[in-house]
Structure 1
Amino acid sequence: MNITDLAADYERDGYVSGVPVLTQDEVTYHRTALEKAEHELNASLHYQFKVHTILTSPYELATRPQVLDLVEAMIGPDILLYNATFIIKEPHSTSYVSWHQDLTY
């Protein structure tokens, strides 16, 4: 995937999708970290505001070079992680997350 093309897609469409930034092993690691934290806290972290302040995993995801390189190509180098939230949709759930804008411009 070409970063320049992704940046152009973002400029044109306002979003990009299907960008591979994790291996299956990395996905498993981060899911396990989330599930372990939920077990230890005896609480769901679904929609927990600023979850990156209590877990390192969301911060690790947000600051991966593959992610930062893409974000920088799209919006420039002035990047701030203000909030990280897990939207958890368990298998076979009938719930959905509708199309939305994460932040008003």
Structure 2
Amino acid sequence: MILSDYLSLILLTLGAIFFLAGTLGLLRFPDIYTRLHALTKADNVGLSLLIAGLAVQAESWAIVGKLFLIWLLVVLAGASVSHLIARSALHRGIRIWRR
């Protein structure tokens, strides 16, 4: 294995760990707002690391550009959908969890 293979493996593994952390946050946190926060933050970082790991292995700059475009669209969509879900929950009267 060469250095780029190790770097790619590290980035992909870290990305998978962040996805797992986001899933655990979704399952463990008490209300919709903290769940959304944990899920979107961890998924955005996880996706960034996965895209970086794939970009290291890319054969051309065109593939790197496509990966970047995919990353950008998913991050924008995730932020927009999270905002809409939180806004809908707020309008339905779902309160923020407090002790």
Q: TM-score under structure 1 normalisation? A: 0.32
